[in-house]
Structures are given as structure tokens and as C-alpha cells.
Structure 1
Amino acid sequence: MSAAGEGRDFSVVICAYTEDRWEDILEAVASVGRQSLPALETLLVVDHNPALLGRLRDRYAGERGVRVLANAGPRGLSSGRNTGIAASLGHFVAFLDDDAVAEPDWLRYFAEGYDDERVMAVGGRTLPAWASGRRPAWFPEEFDWVVGCTYRGLPPGKVRVRNVLGGNASFRRAAFDACGGFATGIGRDGDRRPLGCEETELCIRLTRSLPDAVLLIDDRAVIRHRVPDARERFRYFGGRSYAEGLSKALVARSVGAGKGLESERRYTTRVLPAGVARGLRDAVLGRRGGAGRAGAIVAGVAAAAAGYVVGGVRARRGVAAFSSGPIVSTAPSEAAR
């Protein structure tokens, strides 16, 4: 039976770590409840925050289809996702950021991708919801990944990709059976430096374990990701770019620079130069923010390159080593308290 026929076979995992996002978390869960293809369940995984854990358990006590879990592994997004995977009951596991809202047909478009048995993962398109109501004039679309969104340069439509983006993605359960869980020691860890790339590393491991596996992005599967004021500032832009370089160094050391930087080479040699040229052209034509966007691209590349160099040195010294995360067993009946 195809995924579309299985209907309620999607488990949706939402990882949360702070009460500061309380309203966002409630909106994320509500958006799953509005899906045209109903989810089997929504799993809220709380990352080592007893107050938030208790509050969410009280909020969703007795609510059908929503379970609240404590992260059963070390602190961090990767362990939280692995906890959700272990507790999930569906044939497919989808991930939604705790500060994002899914469009009503999000899961339906994911399901369509799995009609082909070779497809092991389907991702979607993530649009920014700026706290200020509009994109900062200097902020280049080529760097929307800085705020967890789909960036300019990704191919449109329904296309095959090296990796999906973790905050808006789904996997066939067999993918985790084949390659294990998300790597620990590489992804985000609460309010500490915003590392990432854990989904990149996982997807590369997946295609090594299953050479015939197909990974897709379908840009009809849309979520809207909230971008708070603090992330609209250049300071965050630079810090996140630097952290991306650190993360890429860890991924390259784990899976090799060939696969680890395959997509990034095209991005840096084609997409970014085109973005700089576009910004400079807009500046010449007197269009708002053109020079700022061109400058931000150059600064972002420099920050990421610096992070990559530092990350490479640390990885060689064993300072930032990480390992493939285990799928931590969590009994659903115990987690549903």
C-alpha cells in the first residue's frame, strides 16, 4: 500500500526546549491538527526542561493524538529527534520546528512522494515569517538558511537532493533502521552556539547505507518559520554563518569532503556570485538594500570560511568529535504521562 493509502501513518515530531516559545509550540501542534491528511500522532519532545515538560503534559493531558516526551538522551536537538523516532508508531516520521506552522496540505504532499518505494526522505519549503513584518533590506535570500528557511539557489518543484532540511522533513522508518539516528554533538543545543547540519550528515549516511535511496524536496510542502527580532540582526547573521562553517567541518570529517561539501561547492561558485552581482546591480539602480545584500553575502562567506577552518582544526584535535546517535528506546505508554 502506498503512503497516501496508509493515510494516518505519519508521526510528527516537534522538539522544544524553552518556555519562551510557548505560544509558538501550541501553534505548531495546532497546525498538525489541521492537516488535510491527518497525522497518526504528534510527539512533543522536551529537551531537559522539567518546567516546560510539566506544563506541556498538563496542557495536552487526555488530548487524543498528542504525546509529550522527555528527551531520553543527552541535551540537544539530535537526541530529541532520536527520542521521538524511538517512541513513534507511524511508518513515516515527519519533523516540524517548534516555532513553525505547517500549511494544511503539508503531510499530504509528503505522502505523495512515498508512492515510489525507493524514496527514503521527503522535505519541503520553509518560508520566513519576519517578526518585523518584512524582510530586512540588507538580508539576502541566498542566506535564508541562516534563519532556518529555504534559500535562493535550491531547485524549485519536486526534485532529487543530497539532503533534506531538518525543520521541514520526513523519513520512511526504514531509513532509520538502515543507518541509525541523528548524530549527537553536531546539531543545535538549546541557546548555545547554533550549530546545524545534523540532517546533512544523516542523509549522506543514509545514501551510503542504501545506495538506491532517493531523497526529495517537494516545494508544495510548505511551513512558515517564525524569525524573531534578534535573528533579523547582522550580529546573528554573522554568528550563524560562522557556526555553519564549524558544522560543515564536522560533517566533512565524518563523511568526507567530497559528499560533505558537494552541494556547497555549487552554492559558493554559482549561487553566491550571482547574488553579489544582483545586489550591486540593484545598488547602481538605486534600489533599496542592494549594496547591503552584496556586502552581507561576502561577509557571510568569510564568516563561514573562518568557522570551517576553526572547525577543521578542532575536529583533527578531537575537540568536537561526534557520533551517530542511537535511537533511544522510550515506551509510548511511559512517555504519554
Structure 2
Amino acid sequence: MAHSNPLSHRSSFQSQESSFRRPQVAGKFLVSSERKVWIRGVTYGAFRPRAHGDHYPEPAVVDSDFSQMAASGLNAVRTYTVPPRWLLDLAFKHELRMMVGVPWEQHVAFLEEKSTPGRIEEQLRAGVRNCTGHPAILCYAIGNEIPAAIVRWHGRGPVERYIERLYHAAKEEDPDGLVTYVNYPTTEYLDLPFLDLVCFNVFLESQDRLRAYLARLQNLAGDRPLILTEIGLDSRRHGEVTQAHVLDWQIRTAFAAGCAGAFLFGWTDEWYRGGHDIEDWDFGLTRRDRQPKSALAVVRQALAEVPFVLKKSCPRVSVVVCSFNGARIIRDCLAGLSKLEYPNYEIIVVDDGSTDTTAAIAAQYNCRVIRTENRGLASARNTGLKEAKGELIAYIDDDAWPDPDWLHYLIETFQSTEHAGVGGPNLPPPGDGPIADCVANAPGGPVHVLISDQVAEHIPGCNMAFRKTCLEAIGGFDAQFWTAGDDVDVCWRLQEKGWTLGFNPAAMVWHHRRNSVRAYWRQQRGYGKAEALLERKWPEKYRPAGSITWGGRIYCKALARALTMRSRIYHGIWGCAPFQSRYEPAPGFWQSASLMPEWYLIILSLAGMSALGLLWPPVLGAVPLLLIAVSMSLVQAANGAIRAS
């Protein structure tokens, strides 16, 4: 097949009407044309180069392979070399999305010679430029498994900065393309927050260990999609029957853990590496002659059923929305709830004495509307609990709306554990304005606190669900909490009873942040009153100075950016541990002091003493202390702002 000018292809594809478009990131998932895209992928290659340099089989063979992939339920292909344009066209023909790997010499000390980094960047730019604008592109992988020894030799910081340099180079060449780096457990500690997708190659032959490790990776991924870019098993050593069995649970476990997709390694046993055909590994779904193994039929069935296998009996869920004068925001919430994919749920709107049109708006949706006097948030939640017909009660705020699979993930956790409650992340939606963005990156928002990757100490009220029997056993919510604090209190009371709370990182909701300084100030005043009530009720949970103590880790971007702590990496004996993680010590007093409320009381006291010094000079000694205290807060705020940008 003749090669052609990429620009001519670009124009022809732009004019072609097709629902097959490049996906975009939406929180923990990928979407295209407002529909979620689940990546069901397979790796392809690398192959022995042909005479004219292509690292792929003849076009007729590729066409046959892609046809068989599509028929097997696969919708994405990962390559390890930049594909020629004709291969991208074939992928588009079969509606396969391409994850394009751009190879470079990452297995040597690539930062040693001054000329090497620039040459690698130009090589990467040329590879991305070859694919720019093509609708079959899923994303670009700007690196794959830089060896741990190389990372240690250069240092974690320089490697992270160089990957970021390559990321921006790829973005300059194809601004609409998603860009990622494919990591693996041995360099899990690399901190790459700029990537569009979090991608890992993970080969684990124990389902429980894979499930636990995916929970860890999800927390590392934060509010970005997690994709497994290599999973699989060698049929030469384990047998084709075992390969099929393991691939089945690997696929199901990946999607149940909230991954946005997974790539099976690989399509065929034909594999070329280091100038040689690899003859002693057989990871493919097909043999070298493209005859299918037993794994292919099993994979086809598993891919058809993921991400969720609907059980015959799905527990009834009552979704409760409590609102006071929420007419401006509740419509998005109810519209989102009406699009939930879960088959067995009801919506209850508790109108807590609103004086606007909240009840009238709610009546336009398929929900029960219960109107009460204005008795506060906790009382409204209790009203919803009393009226609920479901065995599980899910609470969401009126200024939030759920991902369509929100309930699926919550119920998955309830059914696989004994947790009394389960929560998930709440992400700020894009487009709310600069003030809302600032608030989203500031301390004081609704965050979860985790004891481990899967067990929570606190789940925020905008995204929490409970077993009805457990809530009733503790008497529901404490009605003294009018605007906030009820979620913290109910979590502590459930744990006091001996129950546990779970966390599912894929059970996400979109949650508006305050978009004006006045609204944010009003919210923080409400939080302050709630803190006072909590301290009075739970004095053992607070420090003598009045700040709360958590046993778990607070998952808040603002805190992570402000608390720049020196971390320690576990490399194992001789640096050969297969799983090398980064450990961060608890922040010391001087690192966390300026984030505590009492710190600002100290500043006010020093300011008062400094002002008094105008009348009584001996107390002017407070002025240097005041400047130091204010400077510490400003430096920490500036550091957080720089890291956020």
C-alpha cells in the first residue's frame, strides 16, 4: 500500500461524518460524544521490520488482524512503535483506537550526554507529528518502563522533569491528543501529575493481590483515569487453559476496580525484540500463525460483560437529596440521577423549608418530593432515611451530580465487603470559573480520609452511602448539625459501634465548588460552627488547641501541595524490589502549623501585641515574630499555588 501525505488524510477525516471520535478525559473515565468509552484493548507488536522499514506485517495481515480484534470485542490497540498512516486508516476502518508508543533509548543513561535529550525530543516530535489529527488516535505513550536502575542513576527529579518536557513537546505537536507515560510497579514512585492518563503495566497472578494493588494505583491516580496497559500470562509456561482462566479474572478485576480500560498483552505470540524473534514466550491470544487460543473466546465473553455483570437481584437503593433553597443548582443533580445506569433505585428529594422553587423543579423529575419545615441538614437526612424503601441509602448534595455508574461502584463495594458505609471522590466540574477553581484547590473542602487504600475513616456527605440497618441502629444523624458536620459525626458513631467504612475511587460525583468569595466565606463560617459542635461532642478527637486529629490520611490536593515533605523510597535489597513505593512521613509541627486554625489566632495575637507596641515599646519585640509567622503562611500558599499551576 502506498504511503501518502498525512495532511491530506487529516483533511479527509475532518470532513467525514462519524461518531468515532477521539475520546476526552472526564474525571476518572474517558468520554466521546458525551458517552463513556471503556478501553478494551490489546497490544500489537513489536514485529520484525519489513524491507522498507515498517515495524508491522503486510497491510493485508494487519487488516485481517484488526477485523478479528473488532469481532472479538476489542476496541483499542497499543503499539510500541509509531504506526504508518495506512495502519491508522485501517484502525479507523475497524473502529479501533490506537495507543501510539513513541520509542526512544530509555534503557540507557539518556541524560548523560548533553545532546541526547534534545535528539530524543526531536525523535518524539517527529513520531507524534506523523499521527497528528488522525481520529483513530487514543493517546500517545511518551515512554514505557524506564528501568529502575536508570531512574536511580539519574535521580527521580531529573527523570520526572524530562518526562514532563517530552509531555509538553507531544502536546505542542498534537494539542488535542492525550499524552501519558507507561509506568510499572518498580518505579511506581515517579510523581507525574501533568499526565492526562495514569497507565501501568501490571503482571500479577493472584486476584486478591491485583485487586489490592489496583486500589493503591487508583489513589495514586487521584482524579485521573487509570488504564492497565499490559496484563496477561505466558501460555508456554502455564498452559493455554490457565492463561484463559487468568485473563478472565484479570479483565473483570480491572474493570471492577474502576479502571477506565485495560490492554491485554498481546494479540499474537509473534514478537520481535532486541533484533531477534522471541521464541520462548507465548503471551498472545493467537498463535504465530494467527490461530486463536482458547483464551480468545474467554476474553470475548469477559469483554462483553464488563464493566458490570448485572446480577438477577440488585439491592434496592434509595438516593436522598436534601435541599434548602437549591432551585439554582438542583436541576443538574436530578438530571444526573435520572441517567444512572443502575436498575433498582428511587430518588427522594427532601425540601427543607425552601422559600424558592426547589420543590416545583424537583416535581418535574421522577422522584418523591417531601416538604418539611426548615430543620437543618441532619434532620432532612433523617427524613430521607425514614421515607426510604431501599436497603441501602445513598446521599448526594443538591449541588452535585453523579457519574452514570456511581451506584454500580458503591453496590459492588457493599456486596464484596461488610462495610457499614461506602463513599467515593467528589471532583470539581470544569468550567465553573476561576474562583471556583481556586476554591477547589484550597483547604477546607469536602474530602475523604483513608486509613488504607480501601478503608476510610471519613467519607464526605456529598457522596456517601450506608446500610439502612446500620444507620437506624445508631439513631440516624444528629439533628443539632444544621449545615455541616453531620457526616463526620455519623462516620465516627458507626466506627464507635465497631463497623467500618469503605471507599471506592470510581464511585465519583461532580461537585460544584463555591464560585464567589462571599459564598466561600459563608460556607467556611458554617464549617466553623459545625467544628465547634463536633469538638463539644467529641473532645477526644481534638487537640487541646482545637484542631481535629485524624488517624488516616486526608486526600486533599491543597494539603498535598502545601505540605512539601521529603519522601523516602523503598528500593529493596540492592535496589531490586519489584514494587518500589514512596513513603511520606507525617508532617512535622512547622510544616503543618500554618494550616491549623490556631496558627491564625497566633498571628492575630502577635498583630495585637505589635499594635500595642506603639503605646508600650517593650512589646515591639512581637513585630519580628509577626513577620515570620505571616511569611511562613505566604510562602506555603505561594508554594501550593505554584504546584497547582
| Deviation of the 1:141 alpha carbon | 3.1
**1:157–1:31 Cα change, 3 Å:** farther
**Separation in 2 of the partners of 1:4 and 1:84?**
27
Letter matched to residue 534 of structure 2: V
Aligned AA (2:476): G
Say if 2:321 is the partner of 1:14: yes
2:532 aligned with 1:225, yes or no?
Answer: no
Distance 1:274 1:50, change over 3 A: closer
Q: CA deviation at 1:82?
A: 0.6
Unaligned runs of 5+ in 2: 1-309, 566-591, 602-645
Alignment of 1:148-227 (within 5 A): 148=446, 150=447, 154=449, 159-188=454-483, 196-209=484-497, 211=498, 213-227=499-513
Letter aligned with residue 532 of structure 2:
A
Aligned partner (choices 318, 323, 335) of residue 30 of structure 1: 335
**Contact 1:101–1:225 under 8 Å retained in 2:** yes
| Equivalent runs, 1:232-311 vs 2, <5 Å | 233=517, 236-237=519-520, 240-241=523-524, 243-258=526-541, 261-263=548-550, 275-276=561-562, 278=564, 301-302=596-597
What is the rounded CA distance, in whole Å, between the counterparts of 1:84 and 1:40 in structure 2? 14
Measure how far apart 1:214 and its partner are.
Answer: 1.7
Deviations 1:185-239 (A, max 9, x none): 2241xxxxxxx22111111111222x1x120121111111123421xx3x55555
Relative to structure 1, the CA distance from residue 237 to residue 4 in structure 2 (aligned partners, 3 Å threshold; closer, same or farther) is farther
Identical positions, percent:
23
Confirm or deny: 8 A CA contact 1:157 1:220 kept in the other structure. Answer: no
Give the AA of the match of 2:339.
R
1:113 to 393, 406, 413: 413
1:186 & 1:305 partners in 2: Cα distance?
25
CA distance in 2, matches of 1:262, 1:298: 13
Are the counterparts in 1 of residues 428 and 440 from structure 2 also a CA contact under 8 Å? no
| Letter of the 2:369 counterpart | V
Relative distance call for 1:304 and 1:77 in structure 2 (3 A) is: farther
**1-side partners of 2:599 and 2:347: how far apart?**
35
Post-superposition CA distance 1:307-332 (Å, at most 9, x none): xxxxxxxxxxxxxxxxxxxxxxxxxx
Question: Is this contact kept in 2: 1:120–1:175, CA < 8 A?
Answer: yes
**Given the two structures, how large is their TM-score scaled by the length of structure 1?**
0.65
Whole-angstrom CA distance in 1 between matches of 2:384 and 2:559: 40
Please tell me the residue identity of whatever aligns with 1:46.
D
Bigger helix share:
1
SS in structure 1 opposite 2:501? Answer: strand
Residue 13 of structure 1 and its aligned partner are, at CA, apart by 0.3
Q: Is the 8 A contact 1:53 1:68 kept in 2?
A: no
When Rg is computed on C-alpha atoms for both structures, the one with the higher figure is 2
Structure 2 length as normaliser, TM-score?
0.36
Matched residue type, 1:67: R
The 2-side partners of 1:118 and 1:83 are apart by 25
Distance 2:400 2:489 in 1: 23
Give the letter for the 2:500 counterpart.
V
Count, aligned residues: 262
Contact 1:245 1:304 in 2 (8 A): no
Q: Answer whether contact 2:452 2:552 (CA < 8 A) is retained.
A: no
Match of 1:311 in 2: none
Q: Deviations over 1:119-176 (max 9, x none)?
A: 1100011011265445767557361x43x4x37xx55995211121111110001111
Q: Which residue of 2 aligns with 1:79?
A: 379
SS of match in other structure, 1:14: strand
- Whether the aligned pair in 1 keeps the contact of 2:327 and 2:358 (CA below 8 Å) is no
Alignment partner, residue 323 of structure 1: none
Greater RCO between the two (CA within 8 Å, min separation 6)? 1
Counterpart in the other structure of 2:423: 123
Query: What is the alpha-carbon distance in structure 2 between the residues aligned to residue 179 and residue 70 of structure 1?
Result: 25
Give the CA RMSD over aligned residues.
3.7
Looking at structure 2, the residues matched to 142 and 118 of structure 1 have their Cα atoms a distance apart, in angstroms, of: 34
Q: Cα deviation per residue 1:243-281 (whole Å; 9 max; x = unaligned)?
A: 43432332232133238933189659x9977633559xx
Specify the SS of the correspondent of 1:182: coil
Q: Specify the code of the residue in structure 2 equivalent to 1:256.
A: P
Report Cα offsets for 1:2-61 as digits up to 9, x if no partner.
Answer: x9664251100011111542xx3222122122112134210011011265365246524x
